[in-house]
Amino acid sequence: MLKAPTPEVDTGEALPLLDVRDLTVEFQTRRGTVQAVKHVNISLAKGETLGIVGESGSGKSVTSYAVMRILDRAGRIADGSVRFSNLDLRQIDESEMRDLRGREMSMIFQSPRLALNPIRKIGHQIEDVLLQHAQADAAAAADKAVEMLEQVRIARPRERYHAYPFELSGGMCQRVVIALALACRPQLLIADEPTTGLDVTTQKAVMDLVVELTRERGMSTILITHDLGLAAAYCDKVIVMEKGNVVETAKAETIFRNPMHPYTRKLMRATPRPGITLRELLPDEDALRAGAIGAATAKADAPLLKVEKLVKEYPRQGAASSLSRLFKSGPTPEGEVFRAVDGISFEIARGESVGLVGESGCGKSTTSMMLMRLIDKTSGTISFDGEDIGAIPAKDFATLPQRRRIQMVFQDPTDSLNPRFTAARAIADPLLRLSDISRHSLRGRVEELATQVGLPLDLLDRFPHQLSGGQKARVGIARAIALKPDLVVLDEPTAALDVSVQAVVLNLLQDLKDKLGMSYLFVSHDLNVVRLLCDRVIVMKSGQIVEQGLTARVMDAPQAEYTRDLLAAIPHPPI
């Protein structure tokens, strides 16, 4: 068993806790050896918090796996050294390494629910770690585990000790994972995208908790994230990675104010934040080329879309067994239904762009599906250009002429393209079904649309898997505007994209709106993005609208408590 390395007497110039030199990680793939991390240097002092920032494929996670030596089978450390408290982690054998993991250095992951054993009580999972590292004997382990749950602010810890992961929310699961990681009081915590997929208020709670607990224990932390704002808000030092290389290392305060490397500059610029315009997300030369944003604003005549007292109910799961449902008929009694959308009313004017924001489960997606006439409402009206389209059953709506006027851009560009259709075929699909365009003018129109969305024409004959995320997003947008709709619902259209691609797509959407005079309903969880694109914003919580109004007004002087919470939860980088 390895002795816990004792910290050196503080001489001011103490050895770094973690010292990574020249780290190179290789993966064996079918295309040969790929270097995922190239000659990376990291130095982390005791008690320091370091952010590693990069877009997907930058090698930021692989770096941390290499430090922990938990690379999967295909990967290996090809070169460099990793020293932890003066121990050479490349030299020690696996059993020594195992002793270090969890006791001296631990890790929390993204998707907390998946990170826990689904069929083991969370209390037992914490005990496993405590017992493994001899931090408690069998008798005391249970109490220690409950104590850990208490420390990560889980209410009724003694009860929750017996809970299984599926009985807890995502945020709670992440707290359990943190408890697991901190149970043995390690010196180093690596957090790999710990809040991705969590709501912004949960993200703040989790991050604050991590900071508090690690500070309390004098731990060093590495925060791996794609969100430059998050890293700058919570870290002392930030490392920016691109394609396996470290391009910049700087103090958190300086990286926003004075980014040195062009890539950092681009990344920083592309991060949506208060006080800038859409064009400022783009690199200078592109912003110049794009010109000024058009001045098209909402027209004051009758609203294009008017929603009144819209309700959507779902039968509550498990409330009635399938057997009793089989024998019973008639309306579902009260209490057995769940109101996903609970009597909301709002309007969208012609040419207006309205943001619909809220956290997961607030009913914003259900609302957009109803407006799109993909699902039926329970009650209320949806008037589109004076006609109550809510009264038309969703299954009949697909082939009606009104279908042309309301279109949608989906969240996941990969999922929303048929894998067997080329880009051209995907864009042509609505034209073939809902317009009387002739066969020979079809290709011309598809190319025109591709040009409009900035998709190179030579990509039109590719299949989705041969396109990048940004290119797929463009195909999805071209398809949505192909029929010149009046209203486009944008369902988190950039959530799956890297931030630099998001900047480009947001600008594209803005320009298309101005040019084609469409109205947008922009569904999003990201207030900073909504601020950039929308004239007005609607805030939803638990199926109801808590606040709506002009974007600037709602953002700068929120009336509702909940809106204030949401705004406060956005990480504020030190600028």
Span 434-493, contacts to other proteins by CB under 8 A:
434, 451-456, 458-459, 461-463, 465-471, 474, 476, 479-480
**487-491 sheet: strands from edge to edge:** 406-409, 487-491, 519-524, 353-357, 536-541, 544-550
* Structure tokens that stand for 498 in this block: 């890297």
Q: Which is nearer to other proteins, 126 or 537 (CB)?
A: 126
CB of 123 to other proteins, least distance (A): 13
Interface with other proteins: number of residues (CB under 8 A): 97
Selected from 138, 323, 327, 334, the binder of other proteins by CB under 8 A is 323
Q: What Å distances lie between residue 106 and 101, 138, 165, 562, CA to CA? A: 6, 22, 20, 35
Tell whether residue 1 is a contact of other proteins (CB under 8 A). Answer: no
Selected from 508, 538, 540, 545, the binder of other proteins by CB under 8 A is 508
Q: Which is nearer to other proteins, 126 or 538 (CB)?
A: 126
Residues 6+ away with beta carbon under 8 Å from 562: 539, 541, 546, 547
Q: Interaction with other proteins in 232-261: which residues (CB under 8 A)?
A: none
- Binding-site string for other proteins from residue 16 to residue 35, where x marks contact by CB under 8 A and - marks none: --------------xx----
Selected from 290, 296, 337, 495, the binder of other proteins by CB under 8 A is 290
Q: Which is nearer to other proteins, 238 or 504 (CB)?
A: 504
> Which is nearest to 102 in space by CA: 63, 69, 74, 138?
69
What whole-number distance in Å separates Cα of residue 56 and Cα of residue 435?
39
Adjacent-strand bridge partners of 296: none
8 A C-beta contact, residue 460 and residue 450: yes
What whole-number distance in Å separates Cα of residue 377 and Cα of residue 343?
11
Q: Which is nearer to other proteins, 10 or 285 (CB)?
A: 285
Selected from 77, 213, 372, 570, the binder of other proteins by CB under 8 A is 372
Q: Which is nearer to other proteins, 149 or 555 (CB)?
A: 149
Q: Interaction with other proteins in 526-545: which residues (CB under 8 A)?
A: none
| Burial of residue 418 (number of CB atoms within 10 Å: 0-12, 13-18, 19+) | exposed
**Strand 237-242 relative to strand 245-251: parallel, antiparallel, unpaired?**
antiparallel
Write the DSSP symbol of residue 425: H
Tell whether residue 85 is a contact of other proteins (CB under 8 A). Answer: no
Q: Interaction with other proteins in 89-148: which residues (CB under 8 A)?
A: 98-103, 106-107, 109, 111, 114-120, 128-129, 132-133
CB of 110 to other proteins, least distance (A): 9
Per the document, the length of the chain is 575
What whole-number distance in Å separates Cα of residue 46 and Cα of residue 188?
8
Tell whether residue 331 is a contact of other proteins (CB under 8 A). Answer: no
Stretch that binds other proteins, among 148-156, 420-428, 521-529, 562-570 (CB under 8 A): 420-428
